[in-house]
Amino acid sequence: MQSTHTAATTNTRSNDWQTLQTLLPYLWQYKYRVIIALSCLILAKVATVSVPLLLKAVVDHLDTKQALITLPIVLIVGYGMLRLASSAFGELRDAVFAKVTQGAIRAIALKVFQHLHRLSLRFHLSRQTGGMSRDIERGTRGISFLLNFTLFNILPTLIEIAFVTAILLAKYDIWFTITTLGTIVTYISFTLFITEWRMVFRRTMNDMDSKANTKAIDSLLNYETVKYFGNEQWEAGRYDEALSRWESAAIRNQVSLAALNAGQSAIIAVGVTILMALAAHGVVQGSMTLGDLVLVNAFLIQLYSPLHFLGFVYREIKHSLADMEKMFALMNEQTEVEDRPTAKGLQTQAAAIRFEQVDFSYEPNRQILHAVSFEIPAGKTVAVVGSSGAGKSTLSRLLFRFYDVNAGCVTINGQDLRDFTQASLRNHIGIVPQDTVLFNDTIYYNIAYGRPDASRDDIIEAARSAHIHDFISTLPDGYDTMVGERGLKLSGGEKQRVAIARTVLKNPPILIFDEATSALDSRTEKAIQAELKAIAKNRTTLVIAHRLSTIAEADQIIVMDHGRIIERGTHRELLAKNGHYAQMWALQQQEESEEV
């Protein structure tokens, strides 16, 4: 059991050191500010330690008969100046270092954000958004605490302890130094030991806090589903279960904190009592003056406050390191899809796409695509149809390079996709997905997202092409209407038309329509189909469809089943074969006639 605890402690210290190593480069980019701040810190502590020395001189001067004749004006003024210098250097230090702290937080937060966007779709499909956002929030807050309290509390306290110890050793009996150092060593050892023991409670609190937040965010994002099934109490129970575990860990954390504080106070009380007894004895014996007693007492008061605070600071620094650990762990997540060192930018307006013997699986034990081969000539339209789970949408994800193929390759104009940078590749592709998710912003912003630098006239023209301009014009706020979280204030058809307008605005040479009109009514679908056909003209287009009537005019239709291509040809050719496609066509025609 002891060896397990020792191993855990060693691992924690290793993680803490790794966290600090990750943080240091962000600080060192402001090295001159750090050096100036440290200089101000040392000067402030020199002034602080000099105050009791000057106070001793004042008391000793007043403790003479001459004090009745002359007041130690110079000493008193000097005492005031040292007090002012201590405060002034401290404030200057804080002002200089503010840029370091906030600059590091900004740089790290930005790097985490950018890294999250570089991570693969696989990571984002399995992430827990609520918990991850809470980890990042706590991590950035921890950086601020760590920097300010490490440099401005622990370091100054250690410097002050060194100065005071040197003065006591030089001017007084060695027992003053032994007692002071003994108290400090005992205090620090006790604090470190108990704090390490308590860290398990803090980590448990963090985990339970993240889990509770994940459950809350997930439930609120699925508000309508909760209401559909009347499961408000069920959701409250799940949330309360996580909160209950957090509460239990928080109580243990608080009780152990009380025990730690009591032990620290006892150690300080014993040390202070011994030192005052030594000083009082020295005054009675005549080996020390009244000023010496005041000096020792002033040093004790100065040391007591930061030393008592040191325990709190150390605890909070350990907590901050634990908070930062998870945030930096996100930065250590490996990107699954990366640009090759030799990758170049894709530049073309006529893109011929080819899938060559492509195998792919999301999980090793479940293959999705089996030796898929087909071509989309430049400027032509190829449609892919098949039952749910046939692997149709996987084709678009591979084309976007959200994943890399397991075998075979996907090429554009004869070159492997992996030879191009991901950014340039995606700039050449526009998609209208089946499930359109919008930003919680205005309709204007969501359309403009296709090309953020587009003019207002271009955005309105794109909305007209998607047959949504007239609808927007009827809204009280027009294009400035907020769409709500994930676009929930708009209907499925309205969201789909915003997505179409966004893609029209992007104006890419390659288009992907993934069930693009599945959320539209028949009348709107026919209008949109005409626009999609016009948009796709002279563009390389991949259409993933369920309604066969929407792809009858495609240059080629590919029929997939369980990850394999089982038929291909034009609409007429496939009907003439009287195979799988012909059966799907007959079934859909029958369903449509029954609806009519």
Q: Assess if residue 267 is contained within a domain.
A: yes
Same structural domain for residues 30 and 7?
yes
At 497-545, the pLDDT tens digits run 888 888 888 889 999 988 766 656 667 677 677 777 777 888 899 998 8
What's the average model confidence in pLDDT over 263-286? Answer: 81
Whether residue 532 lies inside any domain: the answer is no
Q: Are strands 381-386 and 540-544 parallel, antiparallel or unpaired?
A: parallel
Q: What is the extent of the structural domain holding 235?
A: 2-331
Higher pLDDT, 169 or 310: 169
Q: Of the candidates 164, 495, 498, 508, which has an alpha carbon nearest to the alpha carbon of residue 348?
A: 508
Specify whether the CB–CB gap between 105 and 140 falls below 8 A. Answer: yes
pLDDT at 488: 77
Answer for the pair 556, 569: CB distance below 8 angstroms, yes or no. yes
pLDDT average, residue stretch 164-169: 80
pLDDT at 42: 83
Last residue of a domain, one of 304, 331, 358: 331
Cβ–Cβ < 8 Å for 559, 566: yes
The residue among 274, 302, 331 that closes a domain is: 331
Higher pLDDT, 77 or 65: 77
How far is the C-alpha of 443 from the C-alpha of 451, rounded, in Å? 14
Average pLDDT over residues 98-107: 82
Domain CATH code at residue 405 = 3.40.50.300
Looking at residue 97, its pLDDT comes to 81
CB count in 10 Å sphere of residue 3: 7
Distance between CA 308 and CA 306 in Å, rounded? 5
Same domain, 396 and 445: no
Tell me which of 161-165, 299-303, 437-441 is least confident. Answer: 299-303
User: Please, what is the angle between helix 174-221 and helix 290-331, to 10°?
Assistant: 30
Give the least confident one: 15-29, 450-464, 581-595: 15-29
Choose the weakest-confidence range: 1-10, 41-50, 185-194, 244-253.
1-10
Q: Does position 3 have pLDDT exceeding 50, yes or no? A: no
In a domain, 341, yes or no: no
For range 181-189, the mean pLDDT = 83
More confident call, 71 vs 515: 515
CATH number of the domain enclosing 276 = 1.20.1560.10
Neighbours of 225 (CB within 10 A): 11
pLDDT, mean over the chain? 80
DSSP string, 409-461: EEEETTEEGGGB-HHHHHHTEEEE-SS----SSBHHHHHHTTSTT--HHHHHH
Looking at the fold, whether 31 and 65 belong to one and the same domain comes out as: yes
To which H or E segment does residue 43 belong?
Answer: helix 31-62
Instruction: Give every CB contact of residue 263 below 8 A, 6+ residues apart in sequence.
Output: 190, 194
DSSP of 491-546: -HHHHHHHHHHHHHHH--SEEEEESTTTTS-HHHHHHHHHHHHHHHTTSEEEEE-S
Looking at the structure, tell me whether residues 327 and 354 fall in a common domain: no
Tell me, what's the pLDDT at 354?
A: 93
**289 in a domain, yes or no?**
yes
Whole-angstrom Cα distance, residue 154 to residue 307? 9
- Does 121 score more than 90 pLDDT? no
Does 118 score more than 60 pLDDT? yes
For residues 387 and 470, state if they share a domain.
Answer: no
pLDDT score at 241: 86
Which pLDDT belongs to residue 1?
A: 44
**Residues 325 and 420 both lie in one domain:** no
Which sign, positive or negative, has the C-alpha torsion 200, 204, 210, 214?
positive
pLDDT tens digits for 445-479?
A: 999 988 888 899 999 999 988 888 988 999 888 88
529 assigned to some structural domain: no
Cβ(498)–Cβ(520) below 8 Å: no
Examine the fold and report which residue of 269, 297, 331 is the final residue of a domain before the chain moves on: 331
Q: Is the separation of the CB atoms in 306 and 157 below 8 Å?
A: yes
Say if residues 542 and 353 touch (Cβ distance below 8 Å): yes
Q: Return d(Cα 34, Cα 29) in angstroms, integer.
A: 9
* 531 falls within a domain: no
Q: Are residues 47 and 100 in the same domain?
A: yes
Do 372 and 358 contact (CB within 8 A), yes or no? yes
Q: Residues 247-270, buried b or exposed e (16+ Cβ, 10 A)?
A: eebbebbeebbeebeebbeebbee
* Residue 212 near residue 246, CB atoms below 8 Å: yes
Alpha-carbon gap, residue 219 to 227, rounded angstroms: 10
419 and 276, same structural domain? no
User: Does any domain span residue 169?
Assistant: yes
What's the domain count of the chain? 3
Q: What pLDDT score was predicted for residue 190? A: 86
Is the pLDDT confidence value at 378 over 70? yes
Q: Is residue 130 very low, low, confident or very high in pLDDT (cuts 50, 70, 90)?
A: low
Q: What is the pLDDT of residue 275?
A: 80
CA distance 164 to 46: 10
In a domain, residue 345? The reply is no
- The answer to whether residues 495 and 572 belong to one domain is no
Same structural domain, 211 and 228: yes
Mean pLDDT of the region 200-213: 80
Judge if 212 and 358 occupy the same domain: no
Check residues 13 and 193 and name the one with the higher pLDDT.
Answer: 193
Same domain, 91 and 210: yes
Helices (DSSP H) in 119-173: which residue ranges?
121-126, 129-149, 155-171
Residue-level pLDDT at 8: 46
Cα 289 from Cα 295, distance rounded (Å):
10
- pLDDT, one tens digit per residue, over 329-374 is 777 777 777 888 888 988 888 889 999 999 998 888 888 889 999 9
CB 260 within 8 A of CB 157: no
* Predicted pLDDT of residue 542: 92
